[in-house]
Structure 1
């Protein structure tokens, strides 16, 4: 390929994996490329962002995104999904029902956070719900020996938190908003604080001490950061 990850503002993490911090809300989108298939973790906050991610993925990899994993059903992570026609979409159990019946709420949330009515309406009018719901763990074979693990590790940040483990040296764990580096983790009305520390314990079990942990917002962190955030959340919410 003539184009490099850096040309498009992506950070290469190894193991066929690279991620980009999107503008405005600093949400992370991550590509995982195997020999036969390409997984995108989160799709951006608008159809425009989704289309840009699609174009960049095709320029970088020479092929289309075939699979999408949605970390959780918040507008800044899911509203670009309709830009990826034909992709198989995965989410934690409950995500499909929420997106199917909650488009108006997502539209309102997006506008409350500053999105234009035009962009919010365009994205929620064609909102895509997951085709596959993950209740425990689901292994995706992307080809060339690369098998990624989708893990329903929540509830925590929401009632429907899906993480992704990309094996390798080091392993890469895609955390969604269970982990945030650029600010304190946000606990909205749909958060389940009593289970959030346990969700971070599960992330640490998946990745181990040497993994790279990719937060939903902010810089890539290590296990020590995740553990410290876990302890702060436990103190904040009075959970052991």
Structure 2
């Protein structure tokens, strides 16, 4: 029997697959469970948010710990809670580990600019965990009867965009901020606008027509939404 996702504050997307929309920046974290493993996609914006996620995962799974963390991209609202999961293997796109080590102070400053308490931002930046497992193309993890595919699909929103596909009926694809539903896609100084449409093509090829596409911010969407957003990003890139 599947877990009672809703009563634990999660949105169920399929058997053993769900997500939670976090307060503040409406960032999504994803959760995938198998017989032998539990994967969390992104970790929140502070250590406290990461600790709350840990408690919610424990409650949902009957005491199980997160065994794998996949970081979608290097922005504070998606990576600053990672130290709350010290026992987990941390995965990210190739080059992410060096970037996080090099730019932890910049991430702290960005968090403070967006309203994170300075002490909380400093604590998260100081304890930031860089991925020990980096993905160049695709990597399949077996959580025990539950394969998940980690795919380095960038550059686009950043130079280190990692998507996670959970095969099934329907497939579920965690897209990170390559796709946004609750607002326009945000292109910061680390975005690569000319490559972003191609990254979304890779998402569409990975998920297919029937997948549930889970954006980094906002409601779950379908392939048609991703395709329309891809065309708008291509249009912007062509006129910039």
* TM-score normalised per structure 1: 0.97
Superposed CA deviations along residues 172-209 of structure 1, whole A, max 9, x for unmatched, are 00000000000000000000011100000000001110
Corresponding residue for 1:91? Answer: 92
RMSD: 1.3
Taking the aligned partners of 1:181 and 1:188, their CA distance within structure 2 comes to: 17
Deviation at residue 237 of structure 1 after TM alignment = 1.0
Q: Aligned pairs, how many?
A: 238
Corresponding residue for 1:25? Answer: 25
Corresponding residue for 1:56? Answer: 56
Q: What SS is found at the alignment partner of 1:221?
A: coil
Corresponding residue for 1:169? Answer: 169
Mapped pair 1:206 → 2:229? no
Contact 2:157 2:193 (C-alpha < 8 Å) held by counterparts: yes
Taking the aligned partners of 1:195 and 1:237, their CA distance within structure 2 comes to: 9
Q: How does 1:150-165 map to 2 (within 5 A)?
A: 150-165=150-165
Deviation at residue 8 of structure 1 after TM alignment = 2.8
Corresponding residue for 1:79? Answer: 80
Contact 1:180 1:217 (C-alpha < 8 Å) held by counterparts: yes
Taking the aligned partners of 1:119 and 1:51, their CA distance within structure 2 comes to: 13
Which segments of 5 or more consecutive residues in structure 2 lack a partner in the other structure? none
Corresponding residue for 1:12? Answer: 12
Deviation at residue 9 of structure 1 after TM alignment = 2.1
Deviation at residue 160 of structure 1 after TM alignment = 0.3
Taking the aligned partners of 1:5 and 1:49, their CA distance within structure 2 comes to: 19
Corresponding residue for 1:42? Answer: 42
Taking the aligned partners of 1:195 and 1:171, their CA distance within structure 2 comes to: 25
Taking the aligned partners of 1:220 and 1:151, their CA distance within structure 2 comes to: 19
Taking the aligned partners of 1:218 and 1:9, their CA distance within structure 2 comes to: 16
Deviation at residue 7 of structure 1 after TM alignment = 1.8
* TM-score normalised per structure 2: 0.97
Runs of 4+ with deviation above 6 angstroms = none
- Closer/same/farther in 2, CA of residues 206 and 2 from structure 1, 3 Å limit: closer
Taking the aligned partners of 2:17 and 2:101, their CA distance within structure 1 comes to: 30
Contact 1:3 1:59 (C-alpha < 8 Å) held by counterparts: no
Q: What SS is found at the alignment partner of 2:227?
A: helix
Mapped pair 1:106 → 2:120? no
Superposed CA deviations along residues 186-236 of structure 1, whole A, max 9, x for unmatched, are 000000011100000000001110100000000000000000000000001
- Closer/same/farther in 2, CA of residues 201 and 3 from structure 1, 3 Å limit: closer
Taking the aligned partners of 2:174 and 2:187, their CA distance within structure 1 comes to: 19
Deviation at residue 72 of structure 1 after TM alignment = 0.2
